[in-house]
Amino acid sequence: MAVTDNSMKDYAIGVFDSGMGGLTAVQELNRILPNENIIYFGDTARIPYGSRSRETILRYASEDVAFLKQHKIKMIIAACGTVSSVAMDDPIVEDMPFTGVIAPAIEAACAATEKKRIGIIGTPATIKSGSYIRAAAETHPDIMIIPQACPLFVHLVENGYTDFGNPVTRLVAEEYLAPIKKEGVDVLILGCTHYPVISDIIGDIMGDGVKLISAGAEAAKSAKRCLTEHDLLSSRKEKGKNTYYVSDSTEMFEENARFFLHEDVHGDVFRSNF
Ligand code: DGL
């Protein structure tokens, strides 16, 4: 761990994802840490990561981290279930505070389940890694985790098939969620940061008795705890600012980002090719 000093308190929090999904973490960061500056990198030119090999995901993630480190940052959040899953065995950040989404989401889900039965949905790479199951086994071996890969969700979300009445997304979601529903879970982890954008459809299919946990939002809460522990919370009195970098079109990003942020993008958006 690098030595931290007081001047680092006002450095930004670095957040990255394969695309726009990580904005679900940014939304929560803005809510719970309004005075922090945030630097976001979305690798929109190379999304999706979730259907790629472990080696490729690790290479992309290392490049994303290296990009964030070119800026003055005090912490990194991998706001991507896929990257967080592969980084469980191969750490990608060792010289500053870091969190992925797996442990924070598992912690929240285990605290919320009464039936001790939790469903987890994610990208193929996330589910194949067994990351959530392994994380739960470490701390809560008595809790059953039921996994399900949802390969089409990221494409539907990135293409704007997100409204509650969308028949295509509903049909796909019904198909994916049926096996988990049958298992009688009372908590479902949205293990990919893209999924909260269609949480109303997912929630409607799962029913009122099932609590949904957003992995991105839980990572944001975990980041707040981590910065508090390291005495790295900003001393800034005014509102912090968000700066976004994407590896593809800034126009497309601004158009779609509001579905993740639930408001228009505030802050500069730049295109960057690493
Ligand atoms: N947001 C990424 C995740 O949380 C999924 C998108 C992708 O497949 O790249 O897993």
Fold for the domain defined by 6-100+217-271: Rossmann fold (3.40.50)
Residue ranges of alpha helices (H) inside the chain are 23-32, 54-68, 81-86, 102-112, 124-129, 131-139, 153-158, 167-182, 199-206, 215-229, 250-261
Asked if pLDDT for residue 264 goes beyond 50, the answer is yes
Give residue 1's pLDDT: 44
The residues spanned by each domain of the chain are 6-100+217-271, 102-215
Confidence of residue 4 (pLDDT cuts 50, 70, 90): low
User: Which residues are the active-site residues?
Assistant: 80, 192
Q: What is the pTM of this model?
A: 0.95
DSSP bridge pairs for 242: 38
CB of 154 closer than 6 angstroms to any ligand 1 atom:
yes
Distance separating alpha carbons of residues 75 and 98, to the nearest angstrom: 6
Quick check: 13 pLDDT over 70? Answer: yes
16 lines ligand 1 (CB under 6 A): no
The two domains 6-100+217-271 and 102-215 share their CATH topology (first three levels equal): yes
CATH class of the region 102-215:
alpha beta
Q: What is the mean pLDDT of residues 204-216?
A: 97
| pLDDT, tens digit (0-9, with 9 covering 90-100), for 183-199 | 999 999 999 999 999 99
Task: Give me the phi and psi of 251, to 5 degrees please.
Answer: -65, -45
| C-alpha torsion 244→249→251→255, nearest 10 | -80
**Is the confidence at residue 2, as pLDDT, over 90?**
no
254 alpha carbon – ligand 1 mean position (Å): 18
